[in-house]
Amino acid sequence: MAEKEFEKAEDFVEVEASLTPLTRGDKGGVTRNHLPYNPKLTSCARENRRTGCLPEVRMWKYILSRRQTGYKFLRQKPIDHYIVDFYCSKLRMAIEIDGDSHSDRISYDSTRTERLQILGVVVVRYINSDVLCRLQGVYDDLMSRIRQREDELGITPLNPPLSGG
């Protein structure tokens, strides 16, 4: 489950304007591993972790374990005024699992993705049905994107993943 669902973009803008100022990394600014976040979102993120939807649970259990990818991913990570489904700080990569509700939120998702990219975060999106029915294809695509990101950032994987997904 992602952050609170809004019926129209105006609802989000109204709530966003009322949010508290962002907390920044421990050095007082955006650093390589510390991104700004809204502290009011931490309790919502915690609740989202507790009540994850089936595609997110499958993604977490079968693909995003460190054993499979070689990287540590966090679930329901607050970044800026958003909560991403999964986040890897070393790769600065967010993974979003989009359900049916996202078809009505294309503009919101686009704005959100642009903001995360400004912060240096690459956003990878998968749809629920792919995670539920084509898990091996999702794994193969994600590993390809991880390798591409490693090349972009000059990272050599410490723990190569096991083959398969």
pLDDT digit string (tens) for 77-127?
999 999 999 999 999 999 999 887 655 677 788 899 999 999 999 999 999
**Mean per-residue pLDDT of the chain:** 79
On whether the CB atoms of residues 36 and 30 are closer than 8 A, the answer is yes
Angle at 72 between CA 40 and CA 143, to 5 degrees: 120
Q: Give residue-wise pLDDT tens across range 10-19.
A: 333 333 434 4
- pTM comes to 0.74
- Of 163 and 41, more confident: 41
Q: How far apart are CA 54 and CA 51, in angstroms?
A: 9
Q: How far apart are CA 50 and CA 1, in angstroms?
A: 10
